[in-house]
Amino acid sequence: MSTAAISAVQPRTRAAGYWTAFAIVVALLLVAPLVLPPFWQRFVTEILIWGLLAMSSDILIGYTGMVSFGHSAFFGLGMYGAAAALLTVKPPSLGLAMLYGLVAAGAVAVFVAFFATRLRDIYFAISTLVFSQIFYVIIFTWTEVTGGENGLTFRQPRLSILGLWSDTFTPTTFHWFVLAVVVSSYLLVRRITQSPFGMVLQSIRENEPRTRAIGYHVERYKIVAVMLSGLFAGLAGVLYAMQNKFAAPDFVFFVVSGEVVIYNVMGGMGTLVGPFAGAAFFLLLREGLSRFMPEYYLIPVGIIFIIMIIFLPQGLLGFLRRRLNT
């Protein structure tokens, strides 16, 4: 399509185009568990969960301009929080698992938020890295509570709605549950980033001193951004725990944060949808390559990542967007 044709398209029509694409994707995801073999079914569910985690990170990296290597901490604590609920309260309750997980992740988020307001850029990034390692060490060594190296295993809760009706999850219904949670999260975050609040965040990313000079309380916005990011990351952790019925310290190790950042970069920062695309791309690449080189798939993936940083800094989505606009 030529530029003239695009600019002739009314905003309303473009929005319609977006929502159509969105509806199609959701429909595909709804149908997925019915047509895919079990392995790929789980795979798609996992992509959704990792995508949610990456999206939470995008709130900080893409919108507020704060690089965080600490999302593994939020994710991990969401996981262990859910584990705590599912192990201590019988019968295992879905609602409680989510609650505990979110509270745990939220607590960490408060901690990180405190530092977010006092440190800038690199120092913040390094400190988030350090925090996720602190939590890793605590979880790894506090064997009595966290199961140490071996982590915790537990049973999946039942899907219950307001205590009126409950049933055990099947992989399919669990997938739909995750899809529902992820889609609502996405819509909520999208709403937030397109609101005046979201605009201020982006303004902080573009030029923090100027935003402050205009009169915005940058600290408060950053705190809220970190809290939001942490909560959604924790939510992803809860979902992951429920899908796999275990919690392990590996997920708190900072490499998970690093991979999350990779999903963001590959998919496109500041797009919210990009992280999902990035997660899908990375996980598919990994799946494909690990058929041939199970141990070393990260070598080509890492190289692709580096090449993308240099030549496709806007990520896959940014690249597509530019292609569609010319």
Partner 1 sequence: MDQIIIQTLHGLVNGMVLAMVASGLTLIFGIMDIVNFAHGDLLMLGAFVGASVLGVTGSYWLALIVAAVVIAILGALLQITTLRPLIGRDPLTTILATFGVSLVVQKYALWQWGPSVRQISEPVRGDFTLFYLQYPWYRIVTALLAGLIIAALWLFLKYGKYGIWIRATTQDRVMAQAMGIPVPLVYTAVFAIGSGMAAASGVLFGPFAGVTQTMGFDFTLRAFIVVVVGGMGNLGGSILASIFVSLLESYASILVSPAQAVIVSFVVLVLTMLFRPTGLFVPTPK
Residue written as token pair 């991990």: 76
Nearest to 56, CA basis, from 229, 187, 179: 229
Stretch that binds partner 1, among 235-243, 280-288, 297-305, 315-323 (CB under 8 A): 297-305
Contact at 8 Å (CB) between 241 and 78? yes
Q: Does residue 126 bind partner 1 (CB under 8 A)?
A: yes
Beta carbon nearer to partner 1, 76 or 92: 76
Residue partners of 238: CB distance under 8 A and separation at least 6? 78, 79, 81, 82, 97, 98, 101, 102
Which 260-289 positions form the footprint of partner 1 (CB under 8 A)?
Answer: 261-262, 265
Q: Using CB under 8 A, pick the residue from 22, 115, 216, 246 that binds partner 1.
A: 115
Phi-psi region of 244 (alpha: psi -120 to 50; beta: other; left: phi over 0): alpha
Q: Does residue 316 bind partner 1 (CB under 8 A)?
A: no
Smallest separation, CB 250 to partner 1 (Å): 13
Q: Does residue 258 bind partner 1 (CB under 8 A)?
A: yes
Number of other residues whose CB lies within 10 A of the CB of residue 54: 34
Q: Which residues pair with 167 in a beta bridge?
A: 159
Query: How far are the Cα atoms of 70, 75, 123, 163, 267 from residue 309, in angstroms, in the given order?
Result: 21, 25, 22, 49, 11
Residue written as token pair 């310290």: 249
Stretch that binds partner 1, among 22-30, 119-127, 169-177, 224-232 (CB under 8 A): 119-127
Q: Using CB under 8 A, pick the residue from 34, 122, 162, 324 that binds partner 1.
A: 122
Contact at 8 Å (CB) between 64 and 201? yes
Q: Does residue 25 bind partner 1 (CB under 8 A)?
A: no
Q: Does residue 295 bind partner 1 (CB under 8 A)?
A: yes
Beta carbon nearer to partner 1, 119 or 224: 119
Binding site for partner 1 (CB under 8 A): 61, 67, 115, 118-119, 121-123, 125-127, 129-130, 133-134, 137-138, 140-141, 258, 261-262, 265, 295-296, 298-299, 301-303, 305-306, 309-310, 313
